[in-house]
Structure 1
Amino acid sequence: MKRVLVTGSNGLLGQKITQQILHHPEVELIATNRGKNKYPVKEGYVYETMDILNQGQVAAVLQQYRPDVVIHTAAITNVDVCHTNRETCWETNVDATANLISLCEKMGIHFIYLSTDFVFDGLKGPYKEDDAANPVSYYGESKLAAENLTKQMKGSWTIIRTILVYGILNDMSRSNIVLWAKEALEAAKPINVVNDQWRMPTLAEDLADACLLAVKHSATGVFHISGKDMMTVAELVKKVADFWGLDASVMKEISSDSLGQEAKRPKKTGFILDKAMTELQYQPHSFEEGLALVSRQLSKEIGTRG
Structure 2
Amino acid sequence: MQPVPAEFELFDVREPEQHSIPFVYNSPHSGRDYPQEFLARSRLDGLSIRRSEDHFVDELFAAAPDHGAPLLYAKFPRAYVDVNREPYELDPKMFTGPLPPYVNAHSVRVAGGLGTIARIVAENMEIYRERLTAEEGIARIETIYKPYHACLRRLVARTHARFGAAVLIDCHSMPGNIRLSGSAVRPDFIIGDRYGTSASADITQAALEILEDFGFTAVRNKPYAGGFITEHYGRPARGLHALQIEINRALYVDEATLQKRANFSAMAAILSRFVARMADMSPSLVVTGFEGDALAAE
TM-score by length of 1: 0.26
Query: Which structure would you say has the larger RCO, counting Cα contacts within 8 Å and 6 or more residues apart?
Result: 2
The structure that is helix-richer by fraction is 1
